[in-house]
Amino acid sequence: MREFFFKFKFICLTFFASISVLLIILLFRQKLVSDDAFKMTYPEVVFVNKVSIDKDVAVSSLRDLITPFLEQEKLLEVDIRTLSSQIEELAWVENVAVIRDFPNVLKIMIKSKNVIGYKAFDGNYLPVSENGEVLNFPVDYEGGFLIFGDLSEEKLPDLLNFLKSYPNLLNKTVGAQLINGLRWNLYLYSVDEDGILVKLDNSFYDGIKKLEELDLLQGILSKNISEIDLRDLDKILIKQRGNNGV
């Protein structure tokens, strides 16, 4: 009888001890969740590649978009799917991953679009991506390959890819204008501040090759000239400054 009593007492004490521990855990968890657990800090933004446009402008547009989501104090309450979708709609963003980094960090990893030039349009300068897409994101132009003309953004990748084979010319070319959607005019640095206008035919490949040849053999881009007309390679026209051409 006495042995039974001790066993019963032990079972009761064990039961009540287990209940007490469980209650403490539940109370602690409730306290943790209700107070500071998963309380979100300011998001951590990581750019996985170099931002081609003005980084301050990019961060500002990102901050304006993220701010409303910070009204949700708890990390678990943030709608990361909606946030991801809205960030991807930014003109300069290629793709994005929004991650809950527990216990309290919202991590935003962004790949920006690669900008290869800028299009002058209606008094604005719009970045052009490597896919020939004009990004509706006006910026202050501070240098870079500048283009003009309808459809120039679509044809720019092909032009730049070919010019990469001629780094001497590429480094001297500051901009280009597409004429009637068919042919390019190139604008190059020169010995003065006026630059050199180079007119190419509809198929610009042979004209660029000829321009490279003229510069290597005759140093033509170092001479005091204003224009080189390569639309007809059998009759190349070169204008000196102050003259009508030779």
Confidence of residue 231 (pLDDT cuts 50, 70, 90): very high
The CATH number for 53's domain is 3.10.20
Please tell me whether residue 32 adopts helix, strand or coil conformation.
helix
Angle at 50 between CA 46 and CA 54, to 5 degrees: 95
Residue 177 included in any domain:
yes
Assess whether pLDDT exceeds 70 at residue 196. yes
**Rounded Cα gap, residues 187 and 198, in angstroms:** 6
Q: What is the pLDDT of residue 241?
A: 80
With contact defined as beta carbons under 8 Å apart, do 175 and 159 qualify?
A: no
- Res 103: pLDDT: 82
Taking the C-alpha atoms of residue 141 and residue 33, their distance in angstroms, rounded to an integer, is 49
Rounded to 5 degrees, φ, ψ at 238 are: -125, 125
- Whether residues 165 and 231 share a domain: the answer is yes
Give the DSSP per-residue string, 213-246.
HHHHHH-GGGSSEEEEE-SSTTS-EEEETTS---
- Positive or negative torsion for Cα 13, 15, 16, 19: positive
Mean pLDDT of 107-123: 92
Q: Do 199 and 131 belong together in one domain?
A: yes
**Percent of the chain surpassing pLDDT 70:** 81
The domain total for the chain is: 2
At 149, is the pLDDT very low, low, confident or very high (cuts 50, 70, 90)? Answer: very high
Do 166 and 67 share a structural domain?
no
Whether residue 245 is predicted with pLDDT greater than 60 in this model: the reply is no
| 184: confidence class by pLDDT, cuts 50, 70, 90 | very high
Mean pLDDT across the stretch 178-207? 90
- Mean pLDDT calculated for residue range 105-126: 92
- Evaluate if residue 78 carries a pLDDT over 90: no
pTM of the model: 0.74
Fill in the amino acid letter for 99: I
Whether residue 99 sits in one domain with residue 119: no
Same domain, 136 and 201: yes
Same domain, 101 and 163: no
Q: What is the structure's pLDDT at 190?
A: 65
**Given this model, what pLDDT does residue 213 score?**
96
Q: Are residues 157 and 107 part of one domain?
A: no
Is 174 found in the same domain as 108?
no
Residue-wise pLDDT for 6-52, tens only, equals 454 545 545 555 665 554 555 445 444 455 667 777 788 899 888 87
**Which of 166, 151, 154, 150 is CA-nearest to residue 198?**
166
Instruction: Count other C-beta atoms under 10 Å from residue 76's C-beta.
Output: 12
Asked which of 81, 112, 143 is the last residue of a domain, the reply is 112
- For residues 236 and 210, the answer to whether their CB atoms sit within 8 Å is yes
Does pLDDT of 96 surpass 80?
A: yes
Q: Which domain holds residue 72?
A: 44-112
In a domain, 27, yes or no: no
Mean per-residue pLDDT for 230-239?
A: 95
Domain boundary among 95, 112, 129: 112
Q: Are residues 181 and 143 in the same domain?
A: yes
| Domain identity same for 121 and 236 | yes
What are the structure tokens assigned to 55, written together? 């980084």
Hey, how many other C-beta atoms are within 10 angstroms of the C-beta on 20? 10
